[in-house]
């Protein structure tokens, strides 16, 4: 057996991920030491309550409530407590005291990434965060290193397992959103308060991180356009299926060229979108995640795996740890994702995509031409229109005795590419138009 000098590892957080990281470090320390060329000594686990129950049986003497002292004695700090504070202060303290850092904290990085990356850069510390972006799926190194000589054009990511589980369930079992959410909660795919997932906040944080990696540009979380899945109905899923599509909540990062100036910019956004069933993303079922990357030279690439789960996420954390421990042993700084390109971040209005609009209209002569004119007024051109008449047997009593309600028609309209701004103006006009009863659904179509 080879004797190595030890790297002292401080773990902040003893939750589902932290407990698994500790377990694997303790169980496989010797093998990991061989890979690193140094021992990985877990010197302590900082938690709020040392007596709280844990998902894994760990030596009681490792637990402490004194995170700051633990950090001071560490070569590497693994931050798994989540949230903004005290996580941010702990990471800054670790960097200042000369430690390298591994974190899985997407909320913190999306909100304070530039500050933390700059602090690490300044002292040559490493700050690794693979687990923050897509759980167990290795995506940071592929984007930062493997594609460093290529130009990423677009990323379409299914980066939230809860919403993918719900949408997949609605698609496969015909559940309503509420039914699917209930199942997700029962099976542990959704938390008691599912807001961060179903409203797209979690996906938006990951979109900001992905965009930074892909475009070498800081993308503030505030500039990530976000829509959740709470408006998605069984009817939308059903009619998507009939048309050969599936609804997925996508985190989209895209390089955009301004039509007027020709200047490059980037967009990061999250919304539920129609994806063709032939697209590799359509085959991502249940709580799985996948990141589909379109690069100029490499072409389409996809990275698929578990987006969450304690032991799965622990894999990404330990990969980060072993990588930076190797670097710690041989010397030389780490690489943050450079933000040197510094491209302007575009407003959602400038985004160009295709749309599927479902309208309920009065079934009267010339209605199609009228509707088509609304689209063309805003230079949105139509790719496909499907009309079906809804015969209504409802009787309306207008005061002059009962009479037959005017029958309505459902129009499903697919557009060619248009800007969000043009589409929004079109929808505003449609909603106000006298022949339109309801704008029943507006969904974007992604992944041509």
- Give the residues lining the site for its own copies (CB under 8 A): 20, 24, 28, 31-32, 34-35, 130, 136-138, 140-142, 145-151, 216, 280, 283, 295-306, 309, 311-312, 314-323, 326-327, 330-333, 335, 338, 340-341
User: Among residues 150 and 182, whose Cβ is nearest to its own copies?
Assistant: 150
For residue 12, say whether it is annotated as part of any ligand binding site. yes
Q: Which two tokens stand for residue 51?
A: 């007596």
Residue whose entry in the numeric block shows the structure tokens 């990404």 = 316
Q: How far is the CB of 149 from its own copies (least distance, A)?
A: 2
User: Among residues 146 and 376, whose Cβ is nearest to its own copies?
Assistant: 146
For residue 19, say whether it is annotated as part of any ligand binding site. yes
Judged by phi (left if over 0) then psi (alpha if -120 to 50, else beta), residue 65 lies in: alpha
**Crossing angle of helices 16-27/29-36, nearest 10°?**
80
Dihedral angle sign, alpha carbons of residues 360, 365, 369, 374: negative
For residue 17, say whether it is annotated as part of any ligand binding site. yes
Q: How many whole angstroms separate alpha carbon 163 and alpha carbon 204? A: 13
The set of residues, in sequence order, having a beta carbon less than 8 Å from that of 3 and lying 6+ positions away, is none
Active site residues: 206
User: Among residues 259 and 283, whose Cβ is nearest to its own copies?
Assistant: 283
Residue whose entry in the numeric block shows the structure tokens 């209209």 = 361
Q: Are 76 and 100 in contact (CB under 8 A)?
A: yes
Q: How many whole angstroms separate alpha carbon 190 and alpha carbon 205? A: 18
User: Among residues 323 and 415, whose Cβ is nearest to its own copies?
Assistant: 323
Of 173, 172, 170, 283, nearest to 229 by C-alpha is 170
For residue 14, say whether it is annotated as part of any ligand binding site. yes
Q: How far is the CB of 58 from its own copies (least distance, A)?
A: 16
For residue 13, say whether it is annotated as part of any ligand binding site. yes
Residue 252 backbone dihedrals phi, psi, to 5 degrees: -115, 125
Q: How far is the CB of 314 from its own copies (least distance, A)?
A: 5
Q: How many whole angstroms separate alpha carbon 212 and alpha carbon 139? A: 12
For residue 29, say whether it is annotated as part of any ligand binding site. no
Q: How far is the CB of 267 from its own copies (least distance, A)?
A: 19
Q: How far is the CB of 290 from its own copies (least distance, A)?
A: 8
Q: Which two tokens stand for residue 116?
A: 């933390």
User: Among residues 200 and 334, whose Cβ is nearest to its own copies?
Assistant: 334
- Residue numbers belonging to the annotated binding site for NADP(+): 12-19
- Residue numbers belonging to the annotated binding site: 12-19, 106, 191
- Residue numbers belonging to the annotated binding site for NADPH: 106
- Residue numbers belonging to the annotated binding site for L-homoserine: 191
């Amino acid at each position: 057996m080879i004797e190595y000098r030890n790297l002292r590892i401080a773990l902040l957080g003893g939750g589902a991920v932290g407990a698994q990281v500790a377990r694997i470090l303790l169980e496989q320390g010797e093998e990991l030491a061989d890979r690193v060329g140094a021992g990985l000594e877990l010197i302590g686990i900082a938690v709020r309550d040392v007596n709280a129950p844990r998902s894994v049986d760990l030596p009681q003497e490792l637990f402490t409530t004194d995170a700051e002292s633990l950090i001071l004695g560490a070569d590497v700090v693994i931050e798994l407590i989540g949230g903004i504070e005290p996580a941010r202060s702990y990471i800054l303290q670790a960097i200042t005291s000369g430690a390298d850092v591994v974190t899985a904290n997407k909320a913190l990085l999306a909100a304070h990434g530039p500050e933390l990356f700059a602090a690490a850069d300044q002292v040559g510390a490493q700050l690794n965060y693979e687990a923050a972006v897509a759980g167990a799926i290795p995506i940071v190194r592929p984007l930062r290193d493997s594609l460093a000589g290529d130009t990423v054009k677009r990323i379409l990511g299914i980066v939230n397992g809860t919403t993918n589980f719900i949408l997949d369930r609605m698609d496969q079992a015909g559940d309503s959103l509420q039914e699917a959410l209930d199942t997700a909660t029962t099976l542990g795919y959704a938390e008691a308060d599912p807001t961060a997932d179903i409203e797209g906040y979690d996906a938006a944080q990951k979109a900001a991180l992905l965009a930074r990696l892909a475009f070498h540009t800081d993308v503030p979380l505030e500039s990530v356009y976000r829509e959740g899945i709470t408006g998605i109905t069984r009817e939308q899923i059903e009619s998507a299926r009939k048309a050969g599509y599936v609804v997925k909540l996508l985190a989209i990062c895209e390089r955009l060229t301004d039509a007027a100036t020709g200047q490059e910019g980037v967009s990061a956004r999250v919304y539920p979108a129609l994806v063709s069933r032939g697209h590799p993303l359509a085959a991502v079922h249940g709580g799985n995640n996948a990141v589909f990357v379109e690069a100029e030279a490499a072409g389409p690439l996809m990275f698929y795996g578990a987006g969450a789960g304690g032991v799965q996420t622990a894999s990404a954390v330990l990969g980060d740890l072993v990588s930076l421990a190797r670097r710690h042993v041989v010397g030389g700084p780490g690489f943050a994702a450079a933000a040197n390109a510094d491209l302007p971040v575009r407003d959602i209005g400038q985004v160009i995509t295709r749309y599927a609009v479902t309208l309920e209209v009065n079934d009267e002569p010339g209605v199609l031409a009228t509707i088509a004119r609304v689209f063309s007024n805003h230079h949105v051109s139509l790719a496909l229109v499907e009309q079906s008449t809804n015969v209504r047997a409802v009787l309306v009593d207008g005061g002059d005795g009962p009479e037959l309600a005017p029958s309505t028609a459902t129009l499903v309209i697919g557009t060619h590419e248009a800007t969000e701004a043009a589409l929004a103006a079109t929808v505003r006009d449609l909603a106000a138009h006298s022949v339109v009863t309801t704008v029943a659904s507006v969904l974007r179509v992604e992944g041509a």
